Chain A
Amino acid sequence: MKNSLLLDAGGGGRASQRLIAERFFRHFANPLLERMDDAALLADLRPPLAMSTDAYTVTPLFFPGGSIGTLAVHGTVNDVAMLGARPRYLSCAFVLEEGLDMELLDRVAADMGKAAREAGVLLVTGDTKVVPRGACDKMFITTTGLGSVFAEPTPSGHNARPGDAVLLSGSVGDHGLTILGARENLSFLSDVASDSAPLNRMTAAVIERAGDVHVLRDPTRGGLASTLNEIAEQSGVSIILDEERIPVHEAVKSGCSFLGLDPLYLANEGKCVCILPEERAEAALAAMRNFPCGAEAARIGRVTAAEKRPRVALNTRIGGSRFLSMPEGAPLPRIC
């Protein structure tokens, strides 16, 4: 019989201790965590600080290019990095379903440990709860990240200015389509993989080399179109994009065209939008392209003054134009 998680493991007794020691310490190893105090003591963070939290749930737990474990680290690390900060510490809370295959938990914890080491962050405190079978779908993970802000000025969605260049660190749509394909076993999507990656080293390089970064945002759920709409609204500007400059992988293009989806609305987990003064755009692009996650970085558009109200417009490949609106719910594939 496979090794399954028992409710005991969430009870706070020896079973809990064993779970934590055997499944988590092994992969997250660091002195701050191993002190096992009620909280982690962080002595070396200089203000101002950036803090972000995110809850992760994904079906399936493992997919081409990543897992719930890589997402739980990359997602939170990236959110902290988008404020012009260096993410340093993560907390993590697990909600686990009774009967969970321990081997799965082990693989997820291993992915988290590896992702944290790659991103240069420490998992310093955590919590584990086990809920009865059916009360959650295998596992939910919540992580919170903390880091010191070093960018001056601090990038924010409110800071886009007319005349700024809009840069994108790479292709869009890969993650969203991969999850859909893995969840629904769509065999024709075998060529796509999630872009799950830590962006903090790349964003630090961009800030150091180009400076004066007005906006940094990672276009996760809702995709590039939603993120740009949020920025346009927050900054009270319009954004004009050139469709042919937006990198989209061929496999994503054809998969989307088959399912009636728009890659600009699909989630990404390893991309960022960077908006900064035009004259700094080339330096920022060069900095991005030094990293594998930024190899396909491109200038995709520019910021203009809002006419009637803030909008995001797209100059299409064939020379037409249209608006990119805010999506409502999650994108659904069409019937025929």
Chain B
Amino acid sequence: MFDETAFRDPRLCRGLLDRLRRALDGEGRSMRFMEVCGTHTVAIFQSGLSSMLPENVAHISGPGCPVCVTHDAEIALMLNLAGRENLILATFGDLLRVPGPEGTSLKHAKAAGASVEIVYSPLEALTLAEKNPAAVVVFPGIGFETTAPTVAATVLTARQKKLDNFCVLCLHKLVPPALRALLDDDTSAQIDAFLLPGHVSTVIGLEPYAFLARDYHMPAVVGGFEPADILLALSLMAEQLRDHAPAVCNAYPRAVNDAGNPRARALTDMVFRPCDALWRGLGAIPESGLALAPEYADMDAAKRFNLALEQHPEPKGCRCGDVLKGRASPPQCPLFGKKCTPAAPVGPCMVSTEGSCAAWHNYMET
């Protein structure tokens, strides 16, 4: 085991800050990097790093918080299911507060009598199904490549146990296609480099990001979550920019294997197939989601209950989409801190503690 506290050492951090400054030293040099992952957003604020970064370094928060990118229309599906007779919606806790199209959330549905149970792992949802044979348990499968393997394992276990009252509302999303969509979108912010997500990369490894350096000449570095991890990743990006040598590299080798985790990927590949997906703010992105493979279609909640995504108008004034594209910082949204607060969130970026609006609201002077 590594001693994580070593990566919070003030001297080490100061040294890395100097290294970052030196790499950016020179006429007009600056770096706008996007941290893809919500855990990075929080780490940057929580450690105080955002107050220490050199003036010519700007960070923008990307679409890497699974709650934040869950679309209104997807929440509408969950609300549609919640409250049905003999149906238990077993969900991760942070989905409860996400408002759907009419501003109502699962929290409201639960208060109105719907069976909504908070679980900490999809396997718990399976246990619920076993304990309640007369009900159907639906687990909303949200999250990125990190959560998909556990959901896959759960689906396989359900099959093995021949449980026919468990199903998954499959809303999983994939990170690399979203990054490509961001870069191809003319309305996205200008990004010089990516801080790649540590957790997702433990599963997928480096290869799926190769296009960033190859096709877009973009430095992209996998980073850990302690301040020194993040500063090391930023220094590497700045050095690649200085040397005009963009590359995809791994600055978090104590957790991330360059090849990822093939066993976890095998589980995902066995149970899921890539599909088009709807992202909050980014819209429909081809091949950016996961659907259950045909042999598991009986466990697909959308098929079982004949559900389809419906378009709903975005909440008025909400700029979560622009925030997720890095085009607006949270305080530039007219609702931020006024109509939209962590107590009464309008958009998903305010709901999750790892959303960029919530992070701004909690850690910055506003």
Interfacial residues, chain A to chain B (CB-CB below 8 A): 184, 186, 243, 254, 257, 260, 262, 308, 311, 314-323, 325, 327-329, 331-336
- B94→A331 contact, CB < 8 A: no
Contact flag A333-B47 (CB < 8 Å), given A318-B52, A325-B363: no
Nearest chain-A residue to B200 (Cβ)? Answer: A336
Cβ of B39 within 8 Å of any chain A Cβ, yes or no, is yes
Other 9 A-B pairs with CB < 8 A, given A335-B147, A336-B39: A257-B4, A317-B8, A317-B48, A318-B227, A320-B49, A323-B364, A328-B342, A332-B97, A336-B146
Cβ of B45 within 8 Å of any chain A Cβ, yes or no, is yes
Taking a contact as CB atoms closer than 8 A, the residue among A322, A325, A328, A332 that contacts B48 in the complex is A322
- A262→B13 contact, CB < 8 A: no
Taking a contact as CB atoms closer than 8 A, the residue among A184, A311, A318 that contacts B120 in the complex is A184
Nearest chain-B residue to A307 (Cβ)? Answer: B365
Residues of chain B within 8 A of A184, CB atoms compared: 120
Tell me which of A186, A243, A315, A316 has the highest count of chain B C-beta atoms within 10 A of its own C-beta: A316
- A325→B361 contact, CB < 8 A: yes
- B39→A320 contact, CB < 8 A: no
Distance (Å) between the CB of B360 and the closest chain A CB?
A: 10
- A318→B144 contact, CB < 8 A: no
- A322→B46 contact, CB < 8 A: yes
Contact flag A331-B364 (CB < 8 Å), given A184-B120, A318-B10: no
Residues of chain A within 8 A of B94, CB atoms compared: 332-335
Residues of chain B within 8 A of A311, CB atoms compared: 365
Taking a contact as CB atoms closer than 8 A, the residue among B49, B50, B52, B362 that contacts A325 in the complex is B362
Interfacial residues, chain B to chain A (CB-CB below 8 A): 4, 8-10, 13-14, 38-39, 42, 45-52, 66-67, 92-94, 96-97, 120, 142-144, 146-147, 199-200, 227, 341-343, 352-354, 361-365
- B48→A320 contact, CB < 8 A: yes
In the bound complex, CA of A332 to CA of B144 (Å):
19
Nearest chain-A residue to B354 (Cβ)? Answer: A334
Residues of chain B within 8 A of A186, CB atoms compared: 120
Residues of chain A within 8 A of B343, CB atoms compared: 328-329
- A322→B363 contact, CB < 8 A: yes
- A318→B48 contact, CB < 8 A: yes
Tell me which of B10, B42, B142, B341 has the highest count of chain A C-beta atoms within 10 A of its own C-beta: B10
Distance (Å) between the CB of B17 and the closest chain A CB?
A: 9
Tell me which of B38, B50, B93, B147 has the highest count of chain A C-beta atoms within 10 A of its own C-beta: B93
Nearest chain-A residue to B121 (Cβ)? Answer: A184
Residues of chain B within 8 A of A318, CB atoms compared: 8-10, 13, 47-49, 52, 227
| 16 pairs from A and B in contact (CB 8 Å cutoff) | A260-B42, A314-B48, A316-B46, A316-B48, A318-B13, A318-B47, A318-B52, A319-B10, A319-B52, A320-B48, A320-B49, A322-B51, A322-B363, A332-B97, A336-B143, A336-B147
Tell me which of A260, A325, A328, A333 has the highest count of chain B C-beta atoms within 10 A of its own C-beta: A328
- A332→B353 contact, CB < 8 A: yes
- B365→A316 contact, CB < 8 A: no
Contact flag A334-B13 (CB < 8 Å), given A318-B48, A318-B49, A322-B50: no
- B361→A319 contact, CB < 8 A: no
Residues of chain A within 8 A of B227, CB atoms compared: 318
In the bound complex, CA of A335 to CA of B361 (Å):
20
In the bound complex, CA of A262 to CA of B97 (Å):
19
In the bound complex, CA of A169 to CA of B48 (Å):
25
Residues of chain B within 8 A of A336, CB atoms compared: 39, 66, 143-144, 146-147, 199-200
- A317→B361 contact, CB < 8 A: no
Distance (Å) between the CB of B224 and the closest chain A CB?
A: 12
Nearest chain-A residue to B51 (Cβ)? Answer: A320
- B93→A321 contact, CB < 8 A: no
Residues of chain A within 8 A of B144, CB atoms compared: 336
Taking a contact as CB atoms closer than 8 A, the residue among B49, B51, B342, B354 that contacts A260 in the complex is B354
Distance (Å) between the CB of A223 and the closest chain B CB?
A: 13
Distance (Å) between the CB of A122 and the closest chain B CB?
A: 40
- A322→B143 contact, CB < 8 A: no
Contact flag A335-B92 (CB < 8 Å), given A257-B4, A318-B47: yes
In the bound complex, CA of A162 to CA of B365 (Å):
20
Nearest chain-B residue to A332 (Cβ)? Answer: B93
In the bound complex, CA of A325 to CA of B343 (Å):
13
Residues of chain B within 8 A of A327, CB atoms compared: 342
Contact flag A328-B341 (CB < 8 Å), given A257-B4, A334-B39, A336-B147: yes
- B48→A315 contact, CB < 8 A: yes
In the bound complex, CA of A319 to CA of B52 (Å):
8
- A316→B352 contact, CB < 8 A: no
Chain A to chain B: the 4 pairs with minimum beta-carbon distance, closest first: A320-B48, A316-B48, A328-B342, A332-B93
Nearest chain-B residue to A316 (Cβ)? Answer: B48
In the bound complex, CA of A184 to CA of B124 (Å):
10
Distance (Å) between the CB of B15 and the closest chain A CB?
A: 11
Nearest chain-B residue to A313 (Cβ)? Answer: B365
In the bound complex, CA of A335 to CA of B121 (Å):
9
Nearest chain-B residue to A319 (Cβ)? Answer: B10
In the bound complex, CA of A308 to CA of B365 (Å):
10
Taking a contact as CB atoms closer than 8 A, the residue among A262, A315, A319, A335 that contacts B46 in the complex is A262
In the bound complex, CA of A267 to CA of B364 (Å):
23
